[in-house]
A and B are shown apart, each in its own frame.
Chain A
Amino acid sequence: MASSKDEQQQFAQKIKPLQPKPPLVKNCVKAFLTGGLICIIGQALMEFYMTFFNFTDKTAGNPTVATLILIASLLTGLGVYDKIGQFAGAGSVVPVTGFANAVTSAALEHRSEGLVLGVATNLFKLAGAVIVFGAVAAYILGMLRYAFATFM
């Protein structure tokens, strides 16, 4: 039989002092430094593509993102990105490298089930949510903005 709400609340209160709290400041500093560092690498890549290839401010983002994704995929394959993630928390989840890690780690993990049902089917197991929510949000906002511009 499940315990009552009261019992559960009492238990939660009772064990609170015995549970370790997440080191909030430390975690935030680590996330800040790692996330910032990844963005610096991104900035350097952008300038590299603008200087040595014919990319502009507006278009240099594309090869930059692709390069960061390549690096993150490799680090995932080498078994390094999960260690970075344990250290950095959101610092390595929020940048686009975290998206690449979500894709690659799922694909890699399901390699043992074959290329079609393992790798391909599971590729977006974790990262798919980002695309779904992004596309739905962009669609709805796009329609609103379009309607606004047309009828106002």
Chain B
Amino acid sequence: MEYFWAFVVGGAICVIGQLLMDVFKLTPAHVTTSFVVAGAVLDAFGIYDKLIEFAGAGASVPITSFGHSLLHGAMQSADEHGFIGIAMGIFELTSAGISSAILFGFLTAIIFKPKG
């Protein structure tokens, strides 16, 4: 069942992205940035956590979860350090994603050659 909901929810989020691209003529960059902001907004109202509970990877793999993790990290750290904590914690939970993207992106660029 977890796999089913991961598939359906993840797929559905992508369909929203496709509609933004085809109907509203947004570029992929505009779609992904909108989704990150949307993820942060949904997290501000505590909705995104419920979605992850329900759909697992279906909600944590789409880029919306990046926005959710950014805000989540900020709030966790704010609980501990107060106002200053927001700045300290923003990248706390997304570190794995960003650092591995930098590392693997860099290594790939060194090893491979663009194919065209």
Interface of B is mostly: helix
Whether A39 and B57, one on each chain, are in contact in the complex, defined by CB atoms closer than 8 angstroms, is yes
Give every chain B residue within 8 A of A62 (Cβ-Cβ): 93, 96-97
Whether A77 and B71, one on each chain, are in contact in the complex, defined by CB atoms closer than 8 angstroms, is no
Interface size on B, residues (CB 8 A): 79
Give every chain A residue within 8 A of B114 (Cβ-Cβ): 79, 105, 108-109, 111
| CA of A76 to CA of B107, assembled, Å | 12
Q: How far is the CB of B8 from the nearest CB of chain A, in Å?
A: 7
| CA of A65 to CA of B104, assembled, Å | 12
Q: How far is the CB of A91 from the nearest CB of chain B, in Å?
A: 5
| CA of A35 to CA of B12, assembled, Å | 8
Whether B101 and A103, one on each chain, are in contact in the complex, defined by CB atoms closer than 8 angstroms, is yes
Give every chain A residue within 8 A of B16 (Cβ-Cβ): 90
Q: A78-B112, A96-B65, A96-B97 are in contact. List 16 more A-B contacts (CB 8 A).
A: A35-B15, A36-B7, A39-B10, A40-B3, A62-B97, A64-B60, A77-B109, A79-B114, A88-B14, A89-B17, A134-B33, A137-B41, A138-B71, A141-B41, A142-B71, A143-B86
Residues of chain A having any CB pair with chain B under 8 Å: 22, 24, 27-28, 31-46, 61-66, 68-70, 73-74, 76-79, 88-91, 93-100, 102-111, 115, 119-120, 123, 126-127, 129-135, 137-139, 141-146
A-B contact pairs, 5 of them (CB 8 A): A63-B96, A73-B105, A107-B108, A129-B29, A138-B40
